[in-house]
């Protein structure tokens, strides 16, 4: 199944705010579709429907395909600890997600494009794979090229990230960040119940 490239506001209207997908807000309040515009918009979801929506939040927020998300869930199950938290930590350690968190881009799709075009380095090497899994003490920086530095500097000014999570240390003058630790649950601003995502995949 390919990555979603359709209207982003339609997804955020259905699933709620997804900070990684888009910063724009729709003027429409109702959910998309025929049922969303009906007077009786209090239709209850089934238990499966609730779990499906939580899974869709992760999928669309981080820009994943179905098979990619399932692989992350399997990896989270394999590791020791709280499976839901480990899943979020794996997603937050993706290179494109870290670039978004650092303010290099206004959304994860834009951060993915930044990585794809070779503007970002990890430990001094250009990495053009958005799903690259960063590790502790990795140094994420901008390529030593004027176009790359100008692009990222402008994005940082426009995005105005208020406060970085404690697990990242950022040197703005060098445009360089160090991964100190894995993130906490409170550092993930996406509103969802990750336990329901694990339950959704429990039968697979």
pLDDT in tens, 154-169: 988 887 666 788 899 9
pLDDT of residue 30: 65
Q: Do 112 and 82 fall into the same domain?
A: no
Task: Quote the crossing angle between the two packed helices 146-159 and 108-116, to the nearest 10°.
Answer: 170
Amino acid 11: pLDDT: 74
Distance between CA atoms of 35 and 43, rounded to whole angstroms?
8
Q: How high is the pLDDT of residue 43?
A: 64
130 lies in the same domain as 79? no
pLDDT tens digit sequence for 39-73: 445 567 788 888 999 999 999 999 899 999 999 99
Q: Tell me, yes or no, whether 1 lies in a domain.
A: no
Residue 101 and residue 78 in one domain: no
Residues 154 and 107 in one domain: yes
Identify the weakest region by mean pLDDT among 4-13, 30-39, 104-113, 132-141: 30-39
Is residue 84 included in any domain, yes or no?
yes
Instruction: Please tell me the distance from the alpha carbon of residue 1 to that of residue 28, in angstroms, as a whole number.
Output: 29
Domain of residue 138, CATH code: 3.10.290.10
Percentage of the chain exceeding pLDDT 90: 53
Residues 101 and 173 in one domain: yes
Query: What is the radius of gyration, based on Cα positions, of the chain?
Result: 18
The pLDDT of residue 3 is 67
Q: Higher model confidence: residue 6 or residue 129? A: 129
Range of the domain at 14: 8-90+189-200
- Residues, the chain: 204
Choose between 27 and 109: higher pLDDT. 109
Residue 155 lies in a domain: yes
Same domain, 61 and 33: yes
83 domain residue, yes or no: yes
- In this prediction, residue 21 has a pLDDT band, given cuts at 50, 70 and 90, of confident
Could you give the CA distance from residue 142 to residue 104 in angstroms, rounded to a whole number? 9
Q: Are residues 110 and 165 both part of a single domain?
A: yes
- Indicate whether 150 belongs to any domain: yes
Same domain for 54 and 83: yes
Q: Clarify whether residues 85 and 14 are in a common domain.
A: yes
Instruction: List, for residues 81-137, the tens digit of each pLDDT value.
Output: 899 999 999 999 999 999 999 999 988 999 999 999 999 999 999 999 999 999 999
Count: domains in the chain: 2
């Amino acid at each position: 199944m390919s990555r979603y490239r359709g209207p982003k506001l339609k997804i955020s209207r259905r699933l709620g705010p997804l900070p990684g997908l888009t910063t724009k807000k729709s003027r429409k309040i109702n959910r998309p579709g025929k049922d969303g515009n009906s007077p009786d918009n209090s239709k209850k979801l089934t238990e499966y429907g609730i779990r499906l929506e939580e899974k869709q939040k992760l999928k669309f927020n981080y820009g994943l395909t179905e098979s990619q998300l399932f692989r992350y869930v399997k990896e989270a199950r394999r590791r020791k600890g709280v499976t839901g938290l480990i899943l979020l930590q794996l997603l937050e350690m993706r290179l494109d997600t870290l670039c978004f968190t650092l303010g290099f881009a206004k959304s994860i799709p834009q951060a993915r494009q930044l990585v794809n075009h070779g503007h970002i380095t990890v430990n001094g090497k250009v990495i053009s794979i958005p799903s690259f899994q960063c590790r502790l003490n990795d140094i994420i920086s901008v390529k030593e090229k004027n176009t790359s530095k100008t692009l990222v500097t402008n994005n940082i000014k426009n995005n105005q990230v208020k406060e970085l999570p404690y697990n990242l240390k950022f040197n703005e003058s060098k445009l360089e960040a160090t991964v100190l630790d894995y993130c906490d649950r409170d550092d993930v601003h996406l509103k969802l119940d990750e336990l329901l995502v694990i339950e959704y995949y429990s039968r697979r």
